[in-house]
């Protein structure tokens, strides 16, 4: 499964508003809830915040990957956002976050969930890719960038 297959233009935002980690998570959950794959927005929100309590998903270098597993989705659902302002996300490296990728999977989809988290992390580890994303102005361009980057890195 490709990251770019999970994202549609209505699930990508270039100026996500919010002043805190909780604001950003709430906003991106609201965004993913527009997907027909989301059956219960509040249960998705609960799963993402539960996971966040275990350890911050602010993985470093201005990137966060909030995620959760719940049967409140019919299939893997995702959303991507660039925050309007740098946000204190309690990141592991203590740097503010601007790039946020939300991934929500069914509870029984552990394998695909972990594989996608790994794939997203690998793409976002590239400083050049992160920098390019910050200068993109439309959801369409963002999805195109993910497609190109995935084609470079992964087969299938």
**What's the distance, Cα to Cα, between the start and end of the chain in Å?**
8
CA distance 108 to 146: 26
Dist CA 19 CA 84 (whole Å)? 9
Burial of 45 (0-12, 13-18, 19+ CB in 10 A): buried
Catalytic residue among 15, 67, 113, 135: 67
Q: How far is residue 124's CA from residue 139's CA, in Å, rounded to a whole number?
A: 17
Does the active-site annotation cover 15? Answer: no
Give me the active site residues, please.
67
């Amino acid at each position: 499964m490709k990251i770019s297959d999970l994202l549609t233009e209505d699930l990508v935002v270039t100026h996500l508003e919010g002043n805190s980690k909780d604001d950003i998570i709430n906003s991106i959950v609201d965004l993913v809830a527009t997907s027909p794959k989301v059956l219960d927005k509040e249960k998705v929100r609960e799963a993402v915040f539960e996971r966040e309590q275990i350890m911050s998903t602010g993985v470093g270098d201005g990137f966060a990957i909030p995620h959760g597993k719940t049967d409140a989705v019919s299939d893997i659902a995702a959303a991507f956002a660039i925050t309007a302002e740098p946000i204190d996300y309690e990141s592991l490296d203590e740097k503010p976050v601007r790039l946020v990728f939300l991934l929500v999977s069914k509870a029984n989809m552990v394998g695909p969930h972990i594989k996608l988290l790994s794939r997203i992390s690998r793409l976002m580890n590239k400083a050049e890719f992160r920098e390019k994303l910050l200068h993109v102005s439309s959801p369409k361009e963002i999805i195109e960038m993910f497609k190109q980057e995935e084609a470079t890195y992964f087969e299938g």
